[in-house]
Amino acid sequence: MKSTEQLVTELLDREAIRDLPVRYCDFVWRGDVAGIVNLFTEDATFITKGREREAVVHGHMGLTKMYESAFGDMDPRPYIHNHVVDLKSSTHATGTCYVELRSMKRAMEWIGSGYYEDEYVKVGEKWKFASRRFVAIGLVPGRGQK
C-alpha cells in the first residue's frame, strides 16, 4: 500500500504532466514559440506522422524553426481532449491526448484532428516533453501536414 505522501506526489506529478499539453495549446494560440520550446527538454524529439510521410525534428533549434514555420503557414488553433497519463517512475511518464485543429487564417475552419503520443521526463522539479509524436487522423488535404 502506498503512503499518503507517495499518493500526493503521484497526484502532483499527474497534474503537472496534464498541464503540459494545456500550456502547449495556450502558447500555440498566443504564437509564443519560446514558451512552447521551453516545454521540451533540450534534446527533445517531435515527430509528425501524416498520410504520406513522417517528419522528425530534434532539439530546441529544430523545434523553434518548425513552430515559426507552422505559425506562418496556417496559424493553428489546437483543442486538446482526453489526456491519458501513465506514470512509469518518479521521473518518467507516457501519455496520449487527442487534438482538433482549426485555422485562424481561415476563420477558425476545421483543418483536422489527430492525437499526440508523448514521453515526459522530470527535469529538476519540472515535467517536460522528452518527445511528442503527432499522428494526423483527419487532416483536410492542403490544410495541414502532408
- pLDDT tens by residue, 23-74: 999 999 999 999 999 999 999 999 998 777 889 999 999 999 999 988 876 7
> What is the rounded average pLDDT of the residues 119-123?
98
Average pLDDT of the chain is 91
Assessment of whether the complete model's pTM goes beyond 0.85: yes
Predicted confidence at residue 140, as pLDDT, reads: 65
Residue 144 predicted with pLDDT over 90: no
Containing 6, the helix (H) or strand (E) segment is helix 4-30
Burial track 62-98 (b if 16+ CB lie within 10 A, e otherwise): ebeebbeebbeebebbbebeebebebeeeeebbbebb
Q: What percent of the chain has pLDDT over 70?
A: 94
